[in-house]
Amino acid sequence: MKTFTHKTLSIAIGLVAMLAIGGSVLAAGQSGTTLAGYKTIDICEVTPASSTVPAVWRYSGEISVWNEGAINTIGLKITDFIEYKTGNKWVKGYNMPVTPSDFGEITAGTTQETATVFRYTYEDDALPGTIRNNASITIMNHSGNLNKPFGPNPKATFFGVVLPCPKDIGCTYTIGYWGAKPGVIWPSDYDRNATFYSSPYTWGDILPNINEGGNSNGYYQLARQYIGAVLNQANGAPVPSGVQDTLDEAKTFFKTKTPADCPSASSCGRQKTLAGILDTYNNGLYEGGPAHCEE
């Protein structure tokens, strides 16, 4: 059986909550909190296989973690690893240790929009079969499970084709470029004056900054970043698999929902998470994605 060895690992931490909480044991009857997570995975080929060595792939993506409860987390721990499927069984391939305790706990009342985002990149031998990233996120004060590690277990499966890693091919513009910069021509497949799915506005109306319901409305937050991402894609920017999965989910949402389905700041949290992923892509910050264009 082949043993997989660690070659390269980099974890970049963004939007980090820095408030530390003392102590790890909660008194009986003390309230807990609710942790949630979302993640993506992308795979590309760094070097092709030869007659003597296997191909080297780059595994990358993002893990978003947020705290929907009323108190800060205690004892946050994330165990993240790449695994592959053989038969009906998932097998661990590469461990990717994360030490979130070095960066503090997750502040109460955060949402998908203001989540702590862990970006990962790992290069090693190609794995066989279906591949996914599996993140176990636990705290010691999760609601209903005080004083024992418990939390979400987000997974992301790679369904795309492994292609060579992009080398400065294409780039992305921000939504400000597409929506507000004078004289910018949209790709021919998209019309500023077309109605945006079931909303009462056009694509061009939404992008600058529709403020109906305030900036907390998850429908419009996602719509703006979705429009920017599909315009970047139509303009020639490569779209990693994790971003494409996010775009597909957003499109399905827009086909059946309207802005009225996100009436308050606490609603449509999932859509705010998707917006956050697309925001990093549009700003050229998505791990494994294209860089930001020089405007």
Confirm whether pTM is higher than 0.75.
Answer: no
Number of neighbours of residue 104 by Cβ within 10 angstroms: 17
Q: Residue with structure tokens 């695994």?
A: 83
pLDDT at 264: 77
* Cβ atoms of 168 and 234 closer than 8 Å: no
Q: Closest Cα partner for 254 from 209, 220, 291?
A: 220
What does R_g of the chain's alpha carbons equal in angstroms? Answer: 20
Q: Which residues contact 293 (CB under 8 A, 6 or more apart)?
A: 171, 172, 173, 177, 284
Q: Residue with structure tokens 């985002």?
A: 117
Low-confidence ranges of the chain (pLDDT < 70): 1-32, 97-104, 112-113, 168, 209-216, 295
What is the maximal distance between C-alpha atoms in the chain? 63
Q: Closest Cα partner for 37 from 146, 150, 203, 140?
A: 150
What type of residue sits at position 126? A
pLDDT at 121: 83
Helix (H, G, I), strand (E, B) or coil at 254: helix
191's tokens: 């019309």
80's tokens: 């993240």
pLDDT at 131: 95
pLDDT at 11: 31
Bridging pattern class, strands 116-125 and 35-39? unpaired
Burial class (CB in 10 A: 0-12, 13-18, 19+), 137: buried
